[in-house]
């Protein structure tokens, strides 16, 4: 019995959008907005921006959430697809890899495209930390601590950041504060230059006290931030510690989503190609220093692509904590203020809605590729709770061949 020939497909990033990010808690703009409504808004916006894509051609909807309960539970990829008005023939699923949830949603469905199982997919993530704080309802097995499988600090992300400072004395609080202030300044500049708003979808909000509103901008940035001001903040995770609310990402509500397709189907349907996926990798590290995760993940992804860090012209790294970014840049010999890193600022300024942040990194990298045809390769990377890291390497389809990046 003969079988049809199988050809591996290239994966392209077509479009990425996100909601404005909001403060988690009862003072935040989304406190009375459902998490599933946030991701529904993102899915609808992707379809609105691409009328050339017949909705029935979408093969899968993968949505991540780190806390899969309540209004971000119930197999949210499927429920969000139905709520967004996609044909009932379009399936969906939920996925979790803590902070790298949306990144894992992307690489999971991308693998399906490579194998020929999918043509066009939607992948993203949502996290309503105001409704569902990190770890809500979790019941970690006591053997983790009793059998000394992990250090007790591994279960608290702020403590893992303090451990990174301990591990590398060169990663001082002063450097972390300087990095955090620079992130805020870069975000403010990017917002003023119109580099943030094109990726945002406005969201109608409701408050019993204030009535209806419209979220159009990120709620968390503090452009007035100074190094001097950061130096005065308390260290909640350890007396006389080095991690503060100012050099860490704030608690955040928000959703992200993207369209991915095979190269052939993108051409068939006339979909734009913003980036091409080159390689990806995940790696494990000691849970108590989970911030090191992007280092081995990036080394693996570079090796799979046959590249080195010198080939990478743009880097989008999630700023869970400033010290985690500095551990990455110091390992690879990159200056704290290198222009390749987080050109629009990062999570310290705009927020980190856990499982959704991976696609936010990709959306920003795609926009930076548009601005930098001299850059051929970029990467998105992030640390992951319980001691992991994830990295995806992307190629710029607008590469002109005139830069040093080859």
Q: So what's the pLDDT on residue 406?
A: 47
Res 4 pLDDT > 70: no
Is residue 297, in this structure, part of any structural domain at all?
yes
Q: Residue 285: which domain range?
A: 11-132+250-394
CATH number at residue 124: 3.40.47.10
pTM for this structure? 0.96
Tens digits of residue pLDDT in 109-142:
999 999 999 999 999 999 999 999 988 888 989 9
Q: So what's the pLDDT on residue 5?
A: 66
- Alpha helices, H only, 240-356: 263-269, 294-305, 322-331, 347-350
Do 301 and 391 contact (CB within 8 A), yes or no? Answer: yes
Is residue 277, in this structure, part of any structural domain at all?
yes
* Catalytic residue ranges: 99, 352, 383
Is residue 15, in this structure, part of any structural domain at all?
yes
Res 355 pLDDT > 50: yes
Phi, psi at residue 174, to the nearest 5°? -60, -40
Is residue 347, in this structure, part of any structural domain at all?
yes
Is residue 100, in this structure, part of any structural domain at all?
yes
Tens digits of residue pLDDT in 13-38:
999 999 999 999 999 999 999 999 99
Is residue 181, in this structure, part of any structural domain at all?
no
Tens digits of residue pLDDT in 62-77:
999 999 999 999 999 9
Is residue 184, in this structure, part of any structural domain at all?
no
Tens digits of residue pLDDT in 40-99:
999 999 999 999 999 999 999 999 999 999 999 999 999 999 999 999 999 999 999 999
Name every residue whose Cβ is closer than 8 Å to that of residue 341 and which is 6 or more positions away in sequence.
Answer: 315, 317, 325, 329, 334
Q: Regarding beta strands 92-95 and 58-64, do their DSSP bridges make them parallel or antiparallel, or are they unpaired?
A: parallel
The mean predicted confidence, pLDDT, of the chain is: 95
Is residue 232, in this structure, part of any structural domain at all?
no
Structural domain total, the chain:
1
């Amino acid at each position: 019995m003969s079988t049809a020939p199988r050809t591996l497909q290239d994966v392209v990033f077509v479009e990425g959008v996100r909601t404005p990010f909001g403060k988690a808690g009862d003072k935040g703009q989304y406190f009375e907005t459902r998490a599933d409504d946030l991701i529904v808004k993102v899915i609808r916006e992707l379809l609105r921006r691409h009328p050339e894509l017949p909705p029935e051609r979408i093969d899968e909807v993968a949505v991540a959430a780190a806390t899969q309960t309540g209004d971000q539970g119930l197999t949210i990829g499927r429920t969000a697809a139905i709520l967004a008005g996609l044909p009932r023939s379009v399936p969906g699923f939920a996925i979790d890899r803590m902070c790298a949830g949306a990144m894992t949603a992307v690489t999971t469905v991308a693998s399906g495209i490579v194998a020929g199982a999918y043509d066009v997919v939607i992948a993203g993530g949502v996290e309503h930390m105001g409704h569902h704080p990190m770890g809500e309802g979790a019941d970690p097995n006591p053997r983790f601590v009793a059998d000394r499988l992990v250090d007790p600090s591994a279960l608290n992300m702020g403590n893992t950041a303090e451990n990174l400072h301990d591990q590398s004395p060169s990663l001082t609080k002063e450097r972390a504060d300087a990095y955090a202030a620079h992130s805020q300044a870069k975000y403010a500049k990017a917002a003023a230059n119109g580099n943030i708003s094109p990726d945002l979808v406005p969201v109608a909000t409701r408050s019993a006290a204030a009535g209806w509103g419209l979220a159009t901008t990120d709620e968390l940035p503090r452009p007035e931030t100074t190094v001097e001001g950061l130096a005065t903040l308390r260290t909640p995770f350890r007396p006389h510690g080095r991690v503060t609310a100012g050099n860490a990402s704030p608690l955040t509500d928000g959703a992200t989503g993207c369209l991915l397709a095979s190269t052939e189907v993108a051409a068939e349907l006339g979909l734009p190609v913003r980036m091409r996926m080159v390689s990806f990798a995940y790696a494990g590290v000691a849970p108590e220093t989970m911030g090191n995760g992007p280092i081995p993940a990036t080394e693996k992804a570079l090796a799979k692509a046959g590249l080195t860090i010198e080939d990478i012209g743009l880097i989008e790294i999630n700023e869970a904590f400033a010290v985690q970014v500095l551990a990455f840049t110091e390992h690879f010999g990159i200056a704290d203020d290198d222009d390749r890193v987080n050109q629009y600022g990062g999570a310290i300024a705009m927020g980190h809605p856990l499982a959704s942040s991976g696609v936010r990194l990709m959306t920003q990298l795609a926009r930076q590729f548009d601005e930098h045809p001299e850059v051929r390769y970029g990467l998105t990377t992030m640390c992951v709770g319980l001691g992991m890291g994830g990295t995806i390497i992307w190629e710029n389809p607008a590469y002109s061949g005139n830069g040093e990046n080859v």
